[in-house]
Amino acid sequence: MEGGAGLEGVRFSVVDVETTGLRPSRHHILQLAVVTVDAHGHELDQWSTYVKPPHWPLARVGARRIHGITRPMVRHAPAARHVLAELAERVDGTVLTAHNIAFDLAFIRRGAAQYGVAWPDSPRLCTLTVSRSLDPTRLLSHRLTDVCERYAVSLDRPHDALSDAQATSAVLPYLLKDAGITTWAQLRAAQPAV
């Protein structure tokens, strides 16, 4: 799928993480979801899980008022090592996609390195970057909730990893269309440097 080849057959793994805080060097993933779609937004697969933070039971869950994740929700969750290994298998051979991919990927890469999980060097796409490219004068908000509202996409539970990944996968085809990304070469050119 190089050169001018279209996007037929390209799979996008739309990922979202919820974390204990904003710094990958200090904080940890609490919830992770991936929704795999084609370029038209048709869902091919989805997977989500809570993640037990390291140093349990002393670990904190961070800003519950934002993500709504409580200690009982992660008490029996799988460890990050297993979750990241599963994620690596699921995204291999796809275009890793997220709304603000730099944030999600920083946590994923740090966790993968920490637990010795081989992380695939997949092509990447950031829906936040694509949305901003459509608004060069920055007149609009590009938060996921606002992008969803512009495209009449439902976002039922903001800051729930699966809900955010589903919403991002639903706005993806609109953003690709509006940005004129119709070929593999254009998709590669839109890849963020993260």
Domain-wise residue ranges, the chain: 11-184
Model's pTM, two decimal places?
Answer: 0.92
Confidence bin at 57 (pLDDT 50/70/90): low
pLDDT in tens, 98-119: 999 999 999 999 999 999 999 9
Q: One-letter amino acid identity for 66? A: I
Q: How many CB atoms lie within 10 A of CB 156?
A: 9
Mean pLDDT confidence for 116-136: 95
106: left (phi over 0), alpha (psi -120 to 50) or beta: alpha
Checking if the pLDDT of 65 tops 50, the result is yes
Mean pLDDT confidence for 126-150: 96
Give the per-residue pLDDT at 60. Answer: 76
Judging by DSSP bridges, how do beta strands 11-19 and 29-38 pair with one another? Answer: antiparallel
Peptide bond into 72 cis (omega under 30): no
Confidence bin at 1 (pLDDT 50/70/90): very low
Checking if the pLDDT of 30 tops 80, the result is yes
**Hey, what long-range contacts does 41-49 have (CB within 8 A, 24 or more apart)?**
41/169, 41/170, 41/172, 41/173, 43/169, 44/11, 45/90, 46/162, 46/165, 46/166, 47/86, 47/90, 48/161, 48/162, 48/165, 49/77, 49/78, 49/83, 49/86
pLDDT in tens, 81-96: 999 999 999 999 999 9
Q: Which of the four CATH numbers 3.40.47.10, 3.40.50.2300, 3.30.420.10, 3.10.580.10 does domain 11-184 have?
A: 3.30.420.10
Mean pLDDT confidence for 133-147: 95
Confidence bin at 130 (pLDDT 50/70/90): very high
Q: Please report where in the chains the tokens 């490219």 appear, as a residue.
A: 133
Cα–Cα dist 82/88, whole Å: 10
